[in-house]
């Protein structure tokens, strides 16, 4: 009953779980399917019928919230969607951008990125890259907004992931994240540790841990909004801003 695992093994398992989502349209953790699809998106506040995004893409949506509710996009922005999955948030953003604005969706799971490429054909402002959030293949201080919908909890080295987000953000740029946080007493995870990682539980932080982490990385301002309570866990939206001068 491992309480932790080497980081590369967590990532490998997470990739397997999400590759299965890409190829089968559903994927199980602890013998139950993870929440995904158009109904989930609708419940989380997405306008699934009013946007020109294909049904096949909505079917593979697996976010924890709708981080775009927290930010007013500007049409010239460079937006990075970290752990983009099938790229719903990337596509929603692309609908509001004008050149030179663009969105780059990055994900560890190549099979899911393939689906993103296939189903986002109608959105020329979208670009896709395979990559690890803990080592982003992007130049520094160039992004206006980084999104992470249901992906931050899956990153085993959060300090490194946040350091990378900080590095690629321009001064004054924003991080908008949706994920689960710990708000109560969690039972120790005695089995299915890999599964608990894959559905955003084992990697969840508390609000206090976010405060320490964001402060240590130099974010000047942040706000955490609770969007739903699930016992010891809560779904939240986090909006943080990189301080204006390094
Ligand atoms: C719960 S899914 C959410 C996907 C997408 N944001 C959405 O809303 O549908 C989490 C995604 O994060 C990706 N991911 C996990 N760890 C990652 C990492 N270290 N770097 C990049 N992507 C990662 C997974 O491959 C998966 O596609």
Condensed to tens digits (0 to 9), the pLDDT of residues 150-171 reads: 999 999 999 999 999 999 999 9
Predicted confidence (pLDDT) per residue in 79-105, tens digit: 999 999 999 999 999 999 999 999 999
b/e map of 122-155 (b: 16 or more CB within 10 Å)? ebebbbbeebbbbebebeeeebbbbbbbbbbbbb
- Residues with CB under 6 Å of ligand 1 are 11, 14, 18, 61-63, 83-86, 88-89, 106-109, 112, 132-134, 149-151, 154-155
Q: What are phi and psi of 187, to 5 degrees?
A: -65, 140
**220: exposed, middle or buried (C-beta count within 10 Å: 0-12, 13-18, 19+)?**
middle
For the cut 70, the answer to whether the pLDDT of residue 192 exceeds it is: no
Instruction: Kindly tell me if the per-residue pLDDT of 176 is higher than 90.
Output: yes
Q: Are 145 and 204 in contact (CB under 8 A)?
A: no
User: In terms of DSSP H, where are the helices of the chain?
Assistant: 7-24, 38-43, 55-59, 88-94, 110-119, 158-168, 193-198, 207-217
Instruction: Give the residue with greater pLDDT, 48 vs 1.
Output: 48
Mutate to test the pocket of ligand 1, among 57, 58, 108 (most ligand atoms within 8 A of CB): 108
Q: What architecture does CATH give domain 7-242?
A: 3-Layer(aba) Sandwich (3.40)
Q: Where are the domains of the chain?
A: 7-242
For the CA of 133, the nearest atom of ligand 1: 20
Weakest mean pLDDT among 21-35, 37-51, 68-82, 114-128:
21-35
**Contact (CB, 8 A) for 142 and 168:** yes
pLDDT of res. 107: 98
Choice from 132, 154, 161, 178 to test ligand 1 binding pocket (greatest atom count within 8 A of CB): 154
φ and ψ at 21, to 5 degrees? -60, -45
193 to each of 82, 147, 190, 231, how far by Cα in Å?
23, 26, 7, 19
pLDDT of 35 > 80? The answer is: no
Mean per-residue pLDDT, 194-221: 86
Q: Which of 35, 85, 156, 195 to mutate to test the pocket of ligand 1 (most atoms within 8 A of CB)?
A: 85
Average pLDDT over residues 191-197: 68
Is 172:242 a contact under the CB 8 Å cutoff? yes
Least confident of 12-21, 145-154, 182-191: 182-191
Does 175 score more than 50 pLDDT?
yes
Q: What is the pLDDT of residue 1?
A: 34
């Amino acid at each position: 009953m491992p309480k932790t695992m080497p980081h590369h093994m967590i990532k490998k398992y997470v990739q397997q779980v999400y590759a299965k989502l890409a190829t089968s349209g559903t994927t199980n953790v602890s013998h139950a399917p993870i929440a995904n699809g158009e109904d989930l998106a609708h419940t989380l506040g997405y306008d699934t019928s009013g946007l020109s995004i294909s049904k096949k893409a909505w079917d593979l949506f697996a976010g924890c919230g709708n981080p775009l509710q927290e930010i007013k996009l500007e049409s010239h922005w460079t937006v990075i969607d970290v752990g983009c999955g099938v790229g719903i948030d990337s596509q929603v953003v692309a609908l509001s951008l004008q050149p030179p604005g663009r969105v780059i969706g990055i994900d560890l799971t190549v099979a899911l990125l393939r689906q993103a490429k296939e189903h986002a054909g109608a959105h020329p402002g979208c670009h896709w890259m395979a990559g690890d959030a803990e080592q982003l293949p992007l130049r520094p201080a160039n992004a206006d907004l980084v999104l992470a919908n249901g992906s931050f909890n899956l990153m085993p080295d959060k300090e490194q992931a946040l350091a990378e987000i900080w590095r690629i953000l321009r001064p004054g740029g924003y991080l908008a994240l949706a994920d689960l946080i710990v708000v109560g007493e969690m039972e120790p995870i005695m089995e299915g540790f890999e599964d608990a990682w894959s559905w955003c539980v084992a990697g969840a932080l508390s609000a206090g841990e976010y405060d320490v982490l964001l402060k240590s990385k130099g974010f000047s301002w942040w706000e955490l909004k609770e969007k739903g309570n699930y016992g010891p866990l809560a779904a939240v939206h986090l909006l943080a801003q990189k301080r204006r001068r390094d």
